[in-house]
Structure 1
Amino acid sequence: MSVHLLFIVKEIDNEPQGILLISSVLKQAGHHVSLVVATEEDPVRAAVRLQPDVVGYTVYTGPHNWYLDLNQRIRAQLPGVFSIFGGPHPTFFPEMIERDGVDGICLGEGEYATLDLVNALQRRDGATFLADPAIANWWFKLNGSAHEHGVREIVRNPLRPLLTDTELDELPFSDRELLYNAHAQSRRTKIKPFITGRGCPYDCAFCFNKAYSDLYGGKGRRFRRRSPANVIREIRELTSAHDVRFVLFMDDTFILQDRWLEEFMGRYKTEVDLPFWCQVRAN
């Protein structure tokens, strides 16, 4: 069946690339995705208006309690909705699954994990439910199997391998129109972000990458990168449709892989030639 997933974001500081990639993957498979930004529209009213099958949140530690409270208010209006959480907080604090109103949490990379989930969902008597919870990267709380003292069964699935370089190239580009339709300022800004790769080989104490690598336990390379041609094609596609004056490369460490960098920057100068910002490591 075609599933309608509503993402809700508290506010926009950076483009939510995870949400936008998941949206592209789901739409490519025939599903429907909406986005509401709480600074632009009341999310509870929007959920009632849109009547989604699934409501989803990408959550950082700190604002996670705001999202949990919002989710409870939405479920009070839409008791049949299926509620999912992904992003850094549930990835590193998966006990979030035990919180009221949380049906599932996604650990780690979410593009194909979310696609597998929505493909497995079913609808009956106005409610969305999961018949088979065996989906990699997901922990689920099964509402229909309460044990003693009201404790419900929690299914903890293993992680799938990290996406490879080739698989990153095979992903559709971020669904930026989803964001631009929900948040006018994101459309208007002439500064646009891009991500050329994932991960980092370093173990800086202040960063999440070491813990993230440990979580995956050798299921794929820590650092993976899209091809220069693929990144250039996305940049040119966006700059041909919008007035872009400045590019942000949001990679954790942009200057890794000398050969990749030499090829990419040569093409960037010839085919894009816009000022840019990136993060580097001095040594």
Structure 2
Amino acid sequence: MNSKADVIAVSSEKLVYPQDKSRYFGSVKKDKLRLVFSFYSPDGNEIAMPIASLSAYLKRDFPWVEVLLEPVLILRDAERYSPENYAKTIKAMNADVIAFSVMSPHWYPMEPYFEEIKKLMPDLPIVIGGYQAMLSQEQTIENPNVDYICVGDGEYAIGNVVEHLRGSKDGPADGLWEKLVDGDVYKTEPHQIGDLQALPFPDYDVFSKEDGFKDVNSSIFGPKGKLVLPVMTGRGCPYRCTYCCNTPILEGWRSKKEFLRKYDAEDMVTELERLRDEYGVGYFEFWDELFLSNLKFVRAFFEIYKERIGLPFSINSRVEVMNEEFCKTAADAGCHTIWFGIESGDEEYRAKMLGRKMKNQQVIDAADNCKKAGINRLTFNIVGAPLETADNMRETLKLNQRIAPEHFFFFPYIPLRGTPLYNIAKEEGLLSENKKNLHYLSAANDKQFTLNMKERPELLTAHEYNEICMEMLAFQEANNRLSYSDSESEENGETAAATVEDKSFTLTEAEPAAAENVPEQAAQMPPGAKEDTGFVKNIINFFGR
């Protein structure tokens, strides 16, 4: 299962595992082990691709594991999904282990849930995975209510967890860190799965309810009145944006050539056919970090998809490769929307601080190419990043006003540990170590925007930040018009608007937290992807100038 052919990095030299100090080794004596997956959803989305993949792997290779799902859907019912009531729900499920997939911005809102679960069920092991556990290992394992953390790819690791709990295999749960009874932490190397063909396609049944997917919110931006299903054709991104969690993960991979992983194009389309026919899918959202990470795959995929699937879809791309020919090819295959990051409208700041080297004219040209091809544009933008000025923020708004994308989206910057931009913020003394109510969506309920770092008044005051964010919000509300020609609402002469509500403010306590004890790291600024790199040039050459 954990052969080196399948896992790029596996522990080879490590301390002897003190099995007698394991609190949970062999603790489950039942024939059927019950595992509950969970994740936190502040925006209403009810699909988590990591859980879909883990569930598929367990169902294929561990039939004695019963997989259940109970996400924290705070937008559906704040009272039902309060930490206290959620813990009662988990207790009623009679779980043997609960595993959370946690994004870094969700860590502080989720901590009260771990605490309440342990109050009611002190003997229930809690496993944390996701970017939080991968990027912030020490912070995550130091939480007194956390027992295991998954520090890499999770499929083989979750299999090791259930075998560990059952006591069917001596030794540690490889791919995880385990907190022992004496408080020590036993650490194993992160798993890095290089061959996606060895894994089953994700399991979507885990998200379905009694009426199937009729009551499952599977997309924030997708068309109303039809099932929008998120899918992934691969994993990994070749770029090193300074703010992105992919950058430290890429740096940690022992075999860089294995980081960009894709399914076989024919196999992928066959799976999409199955999903379309079995679930009645009407629209696919490709959640790949970068859809264009493999040219051979893209060439084959577009041709087969057009012939055999025939459904509209959206992808995530980069402006450097969105030339006229590519946009025409994507549109011909059925591409409805391209999501792309602008991040900042100031070229110098974007290149120096964010590692994004494209020029504003490239952004404008890419947006125009999409429009000519009949593809909608959805832009991502970051505000309140380290050393950003008020003028930088205004340039971001100005550039988006110039291209007028069908959907404008902006995110308050969240410092992600392990990223170069986090290290710069730390070196500059900008981190607010006691701040737990991190705001990261661009539609705050109370229409109030606060910086997620310490104020640097000579660059950007808190008042200026809120004022410009309010201008961006006004533009968002006036500009956004992402619509779907065959949606039920448009048939009635209406536009299907995509709305997002952010309740992350209301889920954290205002009490000061203990100061973080983070080892100092040198602030590094890895070069961003340049326009003339081989990867970008190959894509441009393939789709034409």
State the alpha-carbon separation in 2 of the partners of residues 66 and 242 from structure 1: 33
Deviations 1:226-261 (A, max 9, x none): 101221122111110223222111111112322221
**Alignment pair present for 1:21 and 2:53:** yes
Pairing 1:180–2:214 present: no
Structure 2 unaligned blocks of 5 or more: 1-30, 219-224, 321-545
Give the match for residue 149 of structure 1.
none
- How far residue 262 of structure 1 moved from its aligned partner, in angstroms, is 1.4
Distance 1:262 1:9 in 2: 35
Q: How many residues align?
A: 267
Where do 1:203-222 residues align within 5 Å?
203-218=240-255, 221-222=258-259
Aligned: 1:97 with 2:141: yes
- Correspondence 1:241 to 2:278: yes
CA distance in 2, matches of 1:191, 1:247: 6
- Tell me which of 168, 178, 189 is aligned to 1:140: 178
In 2, distance between residues paired with 1:231 and 1:201?
21
1:4 aligns with 34
Deviation at 1:38, TM superposition (A): 2.8
Q: Say which SS state the counterpart of residue 248 (structure 1) adopts.
A: strand
Cα deviation code 1:104-125 (max 9, x no counterpart) = 00012101111111112138xx
Secondary structure of residue in 1 paired with 2:184: strand
* Counterpart contact for 2:151–2:191, Cα < 8 Å: no
Aligned to 1:58: 101
Q: How does 1:184-195 map to 2 (within 5 A)?
A: 184-186=215-217, 189-195=226-232
Q: Which runs of 5+ in 1 are unaligned?
A: 124-129, 147-151
Q: Does 1:108 align with 2:138?
A: no
| Residue identity (%) | 24
| Cα distance in 1, alignment partners of residues 296 and 281 from structure 2 | 27
Asked if 1:33 corresponds to 2:64, the answer is: no
Partner of residue 89, structure 2: 46
Q: TM-score, structure 2 length as denominator?
A: 0.46
Aligned equivalent of 1:267, options 275, 284, 304: 304
| Kept in 2: contact 1:161–1:220 (CA 8 A) | no
Tell me which residue corresponds to 2:456. none
d(CA) in 2 for partners of 1:282 and 1:88? Answer: 26
Whether the 8 Å contact between 1:133 and 1:155 is mirrored in structure 2 is no
Change beyond 3 A, Cα 1:115–1:160: same
Task: Name the structure 2 match of 1:127.
Answer: none
Letter in 1 for 2:45: D
- Contact 2:153 2:192 survives alignment (8 Å): no
SS, match of residue 174 in structure 1 = coil
Question: Are residues 1:87 and 2:130 paired?
Answer: yes
- Confirm or deny: 8 A CA contact 2:46 2:207 kept in the other structure: no
Q: Deviations over 1:181-215 (max 9, x none)?
A: 28722377521111001101121223222210122
Equivalent residue of 2:152, what SS? coil
1:132 is displaced (CA, Å) by 5.0
- What secondary structure does 2:177 align onto? strand
TM-score (norm: length of structure 1): 0.86
- Residue 84 to residue 196, structure 1, CA distance change in 2 (3 Å): same
Shift of 1:133: 5.2
1:52-97 C-alpha deviation (Å, 9 max, x unpaired): 1101111112321232221121122122211100000110000110
Superposed displacement of residue 160, structure 1: 3.0
Match of 2:408 in 1: none
Moved more, 2-11 or 47-56: 2-11
Within the alignment, does 1:72 sit opposite 2:100 as a pair? no
Higher-Rg member (1/2): 2
* Secondary structure, aligned partner of 1:19: helix
Secondary structure of 2:51 counterpart: helix
- The superposition leaves residues 115-141 of structure 1 with CA deviations (integer Å, 9 ceiling, x where unpaired) of 111112138xxxxxx985523320110
> Structure 1 residues 195, 68: closer, same or farther in 2, change over 3 A?
same
Structure 1 residue 159: deviation in Å?
A: 2.1
Once residues 6 and 220 of structure 1 are traced to their aligned partners in structure 2, the CA distance between those partners, rounded to angstroms, is 34
Q: For the residues of structure 2 that align with 1:27 and 1:222, how far apart are their CA atoms? A: 26
Inter-CA distance 157–220: structure 2 relative to 1 (3 Å threshold): farther
Q: CA RMSD in A?
A: 2.2
Q: Residue 150 of structure 2 contacts residue 190 of structure 2 at CA under 8 Å; is this kept in 1?
A: no
Partner of 1:186, secondary structure, is coil
Could you tell me which amino acid in structure 2 is paired with residue 19 of structure 1?
I
For the Cα contact (< 8 Å) 2:241–2:247, is it kept in 1?
A: yes
Q: What is the rounded CA distance, in whole Å, between the counterparts of 1:87 and 1:99 in structure 2?
A: 16
Q: Which residue of 2 aligns with 1:126?
A: none
Partners of 2:272 and 2:284 lie apart in 1 by: 9
**Matches of 2:40 and 2:186, distance apart in 1:** 28
**What is the DSSP-based 3-state SS (H/G/I as helix, E as strand, rest coil) of the residue aligned with 1:230?**
helix
